Amino acid sequence: MLSTMQDAPLLTSRILEHGRRIHGKSQVITWTGAPEPDRRSFAEIGDRAAQLANALRDELGVDGDQRVATLMWNNAEHVEAYLAIPSMGAVLHTLNLRLPAEQLVWIANHAADGVVIVNGSLLPLLAPLLPHLPTVEHVVVSGPGDRSLLDGVDSRAQVHEYEELIAGRPTTFDWPELDERTAAAMCYTSGTTGDPKGVVFSHRSVYLHSMQVSMAESMSLTDRDTTLVVVPQFHVNAWGIPHATFMTGVNMLMPDRFLQPAPLAEMIEKERPTHAAAVPTIWHGLLAEVTANPRDLSSMRMVTIGGSSCPPALMEAYDKIGVRLCHAWGMTETSPLGTMAHPPAGLTPEEEWSYRVTQGRFPAGVEARVVGPGGDVLPWDGESAGELEVRGPWIAAAYFGGVDAEPVRPADKFSEDGWLKTGDVGVISADGYLTLTDRVKDVIKSGGEWISSIALENALMAHPEVVEAAVVAVPDQKWGERPLATVVLAEGASVDYAALRAFLGESLASWQLPERWVLVPEVPKTNIGKFDKRAIRRQYADGELEVTKL
């Protein structure tokens, strides 16, 4: 028996038109460094998105599912591209401006990008790459920047000005009725091991993920809110926030290239956002800034924090200034929303704490299991640790194989029955809360026992004189592997390694404590702000670190 319901495909064009018509007065506010930011209503963004779509089709020949890349900061023009490109049937490909040049070239060629929309301030990054991008036929430049950098570049690409390209074009577009399972956008993983892997999001997955982002158990944002979107638009579609805001009318405050702690603090004080989203390193920096130079952050009711585990000490510090950090977990392959750590109802603040420090609870749409080393599915008892596997309508089933190639499903990333192997090790409680104890590649296997690098890091960063701490496994002749602690101390701190080890001993078993210690001015970071443990292991292996062994 079939239903009697209409079968309207779930498309990004419907998100665009809904935001444009129903929430037309909501705003995209772009920080420019000028006394006043740039303000555009959703209605204006919708008009300009239609103009961009007309320009891409009529002027640049984008008439199918060609890849249109963006190399841009978080700003209004990037939101216009987010909406226009997939809605017209093309595929939005966000390029990660923090990747090494050789990876950017590999990614753009693998995706066969035909058009690149770039902020003028990023032309120094793009110009040297163009001779190595044979599929790129058009470069569209938006905003201030030195256009002369493109003069004489050995490339077939024609250069266009964004504003000139869209000027005078119709503010409506006949958005096609697409199959909701066709590609809307694509992102590549960071490629920290092997070549980056392409994840292709469908219109259906984007639509359903946007609905979940908007729910109360997730970010719980309405048209009364303004969200400060610090997480880059090139990082898993800015965690789905731009699409979700057009669903619900949430105002977006976009920082453009002004991502340093001081301008972020100024944005919050002047524009009064109620929500923000970014990785923990951003909030470490902002905390140091407002501690040294107080700012009014009282508008912020919640911060979604993900990308890597948030140290409980950081959550406690923000609690003291009235800003609540809420853990989220996800990855490129999960669109990325996988969990959010809202405690159950009816608990005291003290009782809530044990839930807040987890990665959070799985929403409807994300099925999860933990699998032991022997392949057994483990119980949800909060104690049985294994690799987390997930599946659902916004979770990848394969990787992009390249133009005209079949999708790729490597056995180390996907189970035989289709679940995504996340590479995260953790436990799930009986009521569905996930606690990650490590990455499969980062867990320390010492004398037949596992040591959690995350537990060691969180404990170290609870010390008042420790700013950052990263722990990795290093070879040990007796135990196989032992932890190496890489520590950044607060300015003027004088605590020694023995004292830090003793501090760890107050909460952790003695056999878990590091014997090897390194003091560094800054922990190496990946392009998305996570601790770069691969770099630390390489530095140790190459003898570049000054290690003290207790």
Neighbours of 335 (CB within 10 A): 30
Q: Do residues 199 and 332 lie in contact, with contact meaning Cβ atoms separated by under 8 Å? A: yes
Provide the b/e sequence for 515-544 (b: ≥16 CB within 10 Å). bbbbebeebbbbbbbbbbbebbbebbeeee
The count of C-alpha atoms lying within 13 angstroms of the C-alpha of 112, restricted to the half-sphere facing its C-beta, is 10
Catalytic residue among 177, 217, 445, 511: 445
Residue 84 backbone phi and psi in degrees, to 5: -70, -45
Distance of CA 520 to the CA centre of its chain: 26
Q: What are the residues whose beta carbons fall under 8 Å from the beta carbon of 269, sequence distance 6 or more?
A: 295, 296, 297
Catalytic residue among 180, 333, 389, 457: 333
The count of C-alpha atoms lying within 13 angstroms of the C-alpha of 43, restricted to the half-sphere facing its C-beta, is 5
416 is catalytic: no
189 is catalytic: yes
Catalytic residue among 12, 189, 245, 437: 189
Q: What are the residues whose beta carbons fall under 8 Å from the beta carbon of 506, sequence distance 6 or more?
A: none
What's the one-letter identity of residue 285? Answer: G
Residue 81 backbone phi and psi in degrees, to 5: -65, -40
445 is catalytic: yes
Which residues sit opposite 278 in a β-bridge? Answer: 305
Note the helical H segments in 236-311.
236-239, 241-248, 261-271, 280-292
Strands of 364-439, DSSP E: 367-371, 377-378, 386-391, 420-428, 433-439
Catalytic residue among 450, 479, 481, 515: 450
Which residues sit opposite 424 in a β-bridge? Answer: 439
Q: DSSP letters along 42-76, please?
A: HHHHHHHHHHHHHHHHHTT---SS-EEEEE--BSH
Q: How far apart are CA 350 and CA 489, in angstroms?
A: 29
Q: Is cis: bond before 336, omega within 30 of 0?
A: yes
Q: Do residues 115 and 68 lie in contact, with contact meaning Cβ atoms separated by under 8 Å? A: yes
Look at the block and give the residue holding tokens 């809360």: 433
Annotated active-site positions, please? Answer: 189, 333, 445, 450
